[in-house]
Structure 1
């Protein structure tokens, strides 16, 4: 193994492990921390699940292709399923990021009516729609041949065990007709424009709120500094979130859009690998950018990483269990003592009664 191969292997494994670990941490933080049991965090969990499935089901196979010089030994059927899973999970991740931006805009523009607009039922319907749309967009084109130049299903004659590189076959999504323009516009460029509009409106609303706070608050240095700090934090947060999305996904869709317009099936090369894994890297950054700017998420992360949450819960459960047991034993002893005293009183009373009332036994027996 050369040095370049070792470095490439280390990079790919690092991306896979960070993607899986980060998104598992998000799911555990929401599931174990009651502070995060809010309706809006359902979108964050959906995003984490999509990125987690990408890291478990897709990224190891993509890394195998990178390390094996694009040789795919599992046949055409599994290649099409792998491509469909890749497209579905990436599309689901992008659309969920769009839903998060819309939810944040509604929360900051109309905070009083946000709970009436964003109900648990509507959130569940939105998440279900995102997953079903991603499933349809991913599996229908590949398995119906909408993405190829001759509208035939790709890789049907690719047998299991045939690596295919010698015959010019590569396990990749073929974008060789005008369908690529519809797909790229619907799943990336349109969500990108909407996200830019949403975050621009959020930034304007945040600046307006800061201006109102400055106008209604006495002009002390402390309050002015706090307002400027909030404005700066909002700017940095929005710039990081939107910037990471553009940097990761714009080169990927631009490259494959150009390939689709040219109607050429180029073999995987260095540029193909760079733009592909740059898009995958967004799934690695999502657990850092989206939840980590929230104070409750940071606390939940700290408790999970330091194992404080589980130890505290175990200690609380132990105290509750001991308290319940002691209370039960006390009540049991009191009830037993009361039964004994009642029985003694009954015996004394029965002894004081005449023999006829006590139903004495017959001596003739």
Structure 2
């Protein structure tokens, strides 16, 4: 074999492969250490936080609700990224080179978009379930979707849709030097990739925002109606006790419809006040007479007073009881999770749309890609800050995990 053929073979194998999987550049030599530190923090915080979320659901009976199953599904999607994909990205940033080969690069790209797609689909299901709880709990479709079998179908469909959507892109998953990770090729996958990004990030997240807007409007209208037709304090206390006994932290009442009717009558309230005044007057008269005189009965209502007609108002569980703090907190938490997801991905998506010619500096592309990492570790922090049941479950699990260490520390000190 002549020297020219050997040289040509060597150039066709090694050099293109090294160039293909390298993201080294003088502009990112220093920035890569920031990426390594951030990626390591995301790996640690995301892995521990999402594992705690799954364990909290498994060990705490009060958290094992149908709604929290969707939260756990979101935790599994984030756990897939934090435990498997994020350490690989950290290694790529540390060496500024992909060291896994072409096959693992394709697998990485597929799992990356599978995790993101499952997260978006689950966020859609969470927003939809919250809306059904508020507006259409009694409908047949809502009961079917919110049943145990319906929730199981939602979970399975979220993963099947992700696989079916991004599985066909297997041949075009390549290493992207601009972000030092594996993704689909920007031009080879079109127009299919453009349609997918529109469906998931524009239409999907838009539907999530629409559901939360409808929830806000529904709750606001019902709250105004409740303030206009406020029941008596005694009735409110009874409903509060019943709601606390039968409502889990997701705001879904057990064995009761979410949409309730409040029967309120101003005439009944006035009649009760007149009756109480009659009793007080009778007691005052008896106190000035002999001890053997009996207390007079309060005057009865006149027969001419017409029986009041109750006013029926369809309200949410928040408006019907006046104690909707749990429902609002959980809905606010879910909306915050959604907004954090949008905030993490918006800079990266906008940059890719605006910079189709790749003229922006590489460090800008890498920084916007790094922001997407935060989405996989921030959810458990939001649960701990905005959900009292998850917060307490996290504390209990961490206390049990750290108990052996504290015991060793106490024994050594003694």
TM-score (norm 1): 0.67
Structure-1 separation of matches of 2:34 and 2:358: 28
For residues 11-43 of structure 1, give each alpha carbon's deviation from its aligned partner in whole angstroms, at most 9, with x where no partner exists: 221111111111101100000000111111111
Unaligned runs of 5+ in 2: 1-28, 238-318, 405-414
1:296 aligns with 2:324: no
Q: 2:41 maps to which residue?
A: 14
How far off its partner does 1:267 sit? Answer: 10
The equivalent position to 1:191 in structure 2, one of 187, 204, 221, is: 204
Partners of 1:193 and 1:234 lie apart in 2 by 20
- Whether 1:182 and 2:195 are equivalent positions in the alignment is yes
| 1:238 CA drift (Å) | 6.3
Report what 2:302 is aligned to. none
CA contact (8 A) 2:85 2:112 kept: yes
Q: Distance in 2 between matches of 1:269 and 1:75?
A: 22
Equivalent-residue separation in structure 1 for 2:204 and 2:342 (angstroms): 11
Give secondary structure in 2 for the equivalent of 1:142. helix
Cα deviation code 1:47-82 (max 9, x no counterpart): 10110011011111111122222x112221111111
Match of 2:399 among 306, 310, 329: 306
Summarize deviations over 1:120-170 as a string: whole Å, max 9, x none: 111111111110111122221133x4xxxxxxx757xxxxxxxx97xxx97
Deviates more, 1:15-24 or 1:173-182: 173-182
Inter-CA distance 196–91: structure 2 relative to 1 (3 Å threshold): same
Aligned to 2:347: 251
Distance in structure 2 (CA, Å) of the matches to 1:89 and 1:268: 27
**Residues 243 and 272 (structure 1 numbering): CA distance in 2 closer, same or farther, change over 3 Å?**
same
Distance 1:300 1:84 in 2: 33
The 1:233/1:30 distance shift into structure 2, 3 A limit, reads closer
Q: 2:380 aligns with which of 258, 262, 287?
A: 287
Shift of 1:181: 1.9
Q: Distance in 2 between matches of 1:178 and 1:7?
A: 35
Q: CA deviation at 1:277?
A: 2.1
Q: 1:170-203 CA distances to partner (integer Å, 9 max, x unpaired)?
A: 7443121333320111111111110110000111
Q: Distance in 2 between matches of 1:57 and 1:235?
A: 30
Aligned positions of 1:30-41 closer than 5 A: 30-41=57-68
Matched, 1:135 2:228: no
Q: Which residue of 1 aligns with 2:12?
A: none
Task: For 2:111 and 2:343, locate their aligned partners in 1 and report how far apart those are by CA, in whole Å.
Answer: 23
Q: 1:203–1:245: structure 2 CA closer, same or farther, 3 Å change rule? A: same
- The structure 1 residue matched to 2:216, chosen from 193, 197, 203, is 203
Deviations 1:65-114 (A, max 9, x none): 22222x11222111111111111111111111111111111112234555
Tell me, yes or no, if the aligned pair for 1:210 and 1:231 is still in contact at 8 Å: no
Aligned alpha-carbon RMSD (Å):
3.5
Residue 228 of structure 2 corresponds to residue 215 of structure 1: yes
Q: Residues 1-365 of structure 1 correspond to what in structure 2 (within 5 A)?
A: 6-69=33-96, 71-112=97-138, 115-143=143-171, 145=172, 171-176=182-187, 177-217=190-230, 237=333, 240-258=336-354, 262=356, 269-289=362-382, 293-307=386-400
| Cα 1:271–1:234 shift into 2, 3 Å | same
Larger Cα Rg: Structure 1 or Structure 2?
A: 1
1:248-294 C-alpha deviation (Å, 9 max, x unpaired): 122222333445xx4x5789921222222212211212223357533
* Contact preservation (8 Å) 1:39, 1:120: yes
Whole-Å Cα distance in 2 between the matches of residues 240 and 195 of structure 1? Answer: 12
